[in-house]
């Protein structure tokens, strides 16, 4: 354990601080992004929700379109069919209004 830069206690683990709940590295093995924003609710890269991970080790994301929570491994929203990742190239779809992948032009409808 190291000293947490947020609460200054020796509770900083590999991904997060067990004292104050601050995240430093995304715990999603396929992502591992460094988290710089201290009040972030989720990973800016893969969308993992930190609160659910902290509570019950569940890897969930929130759909930016219909706001429903679901497993992080799903490439498409189960409820509104919004694509989180391009089904062809895996590129992150940055906007809910995109109809094609910005990288490979696959239709996202
Ligand atoms: Zn802390
Ligand atoms: Zn992540
Ligand atoms: Zn959705
Ligand atoms: Zn694509």
Which among 35, 88, 82, 91 is positioned nearest to 62, based on CA atoms? 82
How close is the Cα of 11 to the center of ligand 1, in Å? Answer: 6
Per-residue model confidence as pLDDT tens for the chain (109 residues):
899 999 999 999 999 999 999 999 999 998 999 999 988 899 998 999 999 999 999 999 999 999 999 999 899 999 999 999 999 999 988 888 989 999 999 999 8
Which contacts (CB < 8 Å, 24+ apart) does range 49-54 have?
50/16, 50/21, 50/23, 53/27, 54/16, 54/21
How close is the Cα of 1 to the center of ligand 2, in Å? Answer: 22
pTM given for the model: 0.84
How close is the Cα of 8 to the center of ligand 2, in Å? Answer: 24
Ligand approaching nearest to the C-alpha of 80: 3
State the sign of the Cα–Cα–Cα–Cα dihedral 30, 46, 66, 82: negative
- Element holding 55 (H helix, E strand): helix 50-56
Ligand approaching nearest to the C-alpha of 29: 2
Where are the domains positioned within the chain? 1-62, 75-109
Ligand approaching nearest to the C-alpha of 11: 1
């Amino acid at each position: 354990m190291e000293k947490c830069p947020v609460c200054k206690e020796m509770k900083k683990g590999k991904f997060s601080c067990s004292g104050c709940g601050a995240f430093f590295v995304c715990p999603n093995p396929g992502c591992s992004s460094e988290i710089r924003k201290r009040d972030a609710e989720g990973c800016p890269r893969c969308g993992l929700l930190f609160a659910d991970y902290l509570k019950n080790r569940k890897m969930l994301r929130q759909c930016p379109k219909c706001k429903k929570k679901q497993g992080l491994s799903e490439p498409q929203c189960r409820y509104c069919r919004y694509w989180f990742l391009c089904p062809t190239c895996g590129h992150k779809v940055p906007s809910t209004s995109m109809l094609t992948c910005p990288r490979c032009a696959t239709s996202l409808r």
